[in-house]
Homo-oligomer: A and B are copies of this chain.
C-alpha cells in the first residue's frame, strides 16, 4: 500500500536496485535464518554456519554486481585487507581468548556502521548528489541511530577487549558522580542528534555526535569489572545488530534490516540468559559495579581449622575405587589451560570403566558456553557435557565430583536466601556427591568475592595448585596407582 500522507520512498544510493537484487537479498535473509536454526543442535551447527556464510557471500556478490562500481581498486583493496586480517585473527587465536576476539570483531562491525552512515549522510545532504526530497526523516533519524549505537559499540567493545586481554585494568573503575557523567554524555549525544535531524546538511555535526558517543562507550564499559565483560560483549553484540539495522533504514535495504534485527535479538537473549543465571538484573551489571573484590572479614572464621587438603596420590586412590565421576570446570580451567589434562584424565578413567560426565554451569568461565568450546576442542563428546538441570539430580549417585577452577558456581551460600551477592543464583550441587575434590591455587574467593563454605565441608578435599599443574600430577598419579 502506498502511504499517501507521508511519502517516504527513498531515493539515494540504493534507489535504482532491480527486482533481482531484492530477490537475492530475500534469499540471503532466508539463508541467515536457516543458518541460525542450524545452531539449535551440534549436529547441524557446522552446516548452519556455512549457510550463514553463503547468505553473506550471496548478498555481497549481488551488491557488487548491482552497484556501478567506479573504483574497483578501493573495493578490492578494502575487502582483501579486511579478509586477511580477519582470517589471520580467526585462525591463530587461542580458544581461551575467544571472548575478547568476539568483542573485537563486534567493535569492527560497529565502526563500519558509523562510517557507512556518515558516508551516506555526506553523499545525500553534503555533496548534494542523490537528493532526498522525500523520506528525510527516516534517513536522518536512522543515520543518527547508526552513528550513536555504532560508536558506543566500537569503543565499548575496544574497552571490553582491553579488559579481557589485560591491556585495560580488569578492575571496575568507579568514581563519584559516575552515573551523572554518563547521563550527561548521552544527553549531549541526543542533543547533537536532534540538530542533525533538524539540519542534516551540517555534516560535521555527525562527527561530533560520533565523538561524544565514543566517549560514552568508553565511560559505559570502563566502570564494569572484567568478569562481567561477557555480558557487556553480548549486549554490544546486540547493539552492533541494531546499528546494522539502523543502517538498513538509512539505505532502505531489507537485508541489512533483517540481518541486523536477527543479531539484535540474539544478543539480547544471551544477555538475559546470563543475567538470569547469575540472578542479577542487567541494570545491576551495567551500573551496579559488582565485580570489585570485596574483602570478606569473616573468611578466616569460615575455614578455620576445617579445611582438609589433599595430594594427587590420595585423589588418584579415591578415583580408582569410584564408579561415577563428575568434572565441574570453571574460569580457573580456562586461565590455567588445563583442558588437555582434563581430557587425559577422562580417558584414563573411562579406560577403567568409570563413568565420567561434565557439569557445565551456564555462566562458568568468561562467556556463555565457554567451557563447552574448550572441552569440545579436546574432542570430548558433547553428550558428556551436561547442563545444570540435567546434572544436578545425579550428584547423589556420584562418587567423586572434581571442581576445577570453579568457585561461585558451586558455592552453597547461593541456596540460602541471605543478602549475599550470589543469593538465589542457581548452582551446581556438587556438595551432594560422596567426595568433592576442589582444585584451585588458594582459599581466595571467586568473582563474587565471598567465602565458600564448601571448602570447609566434611566431604571436601582441597587440592591446592595451578589447575594445569595439578591435573597433570593427578593424571600421572592415577596412571601409576
Contact = CB atoms under 8 A, between A and B. Distances in A.
Contacts of A3: 17-19, 22
Contacts of A18: 3-6
Q: Count the copies.
A: 2
A178 to B, nearest CB: 37
Interface string A245-284: 0000001111000000000000000000000000000000
Nearest to A251: B1
A221 interface: no
A251 to B, nearest CB: 8
A154 to B, nearest CB: 27
Nearest to A21: B1
Nearest to A15: B2
A10 interface: yes
Interface string A315-330: 0000000000000000
Nearest to A18: B5
Contacts of A17: 1-4
A173 B18 CA distance: 51
A20 B3 CA distance: 9
B14 A9 contact: no
A421 to B, nearest CB: 33
A419 interface: no
Interface string A12-30: 0011111111100000000
A17 B7 CA distance: 11
Nearest to A23: B3
A5 B20 contact: yes
A143 B212 CA distance: 54
Contacts of A252: 1
Contacts of A5: 18-20
Nearest to A9: B2
Interface in A186-243: none
A10 B14 contact: no
Contacts of A15: 1-2
Interface in A367-401: none
A9 B9 CA distance: 11
A31 to B, nearest CB: 19
Among A2, A15, A18, A19, chain B packs the most CB atoms within 10 A around the CB of A2
A21 B5 CA distance: 10
Contacts of A4: 16-19
Nearest to A17: B1
A432 to B, nearest CB: 25
A126 B194 CA distance: 51
Contact of A254 (B1, B9, B20, B21): B1
A123 to B, nearest CB: 16
Contact of A1 (B2, B6, B14): B14
Contacts of A254: 1
Interface string A105-124: 00000000000000000000
27 contacts: A1-B14, A1-B15, A1-B17, A1-B21, A1-B22, A1-B251, A1-B252, A1-B253, A1-B254, A2-B9, A2-B10, A2-B15, A2-B16, A2-B17, A3-B17, A3-B18, A3-B19, A3-B22, A4-B16, A4-B17, A4-B18, A4-B19, A5-B18, A5-B19, A5-B20, A6-B18, A6-B19
Interface of A: 1-6, 9-10, 14-22, 251-254
Given A2-B17, A5-B20, 10 more contacts: A1-B14, A1-B21, A1-B22, A1-B251, A2-B9, A2-B10, A2-B15, A2-B16, A5-B18, A6-B19
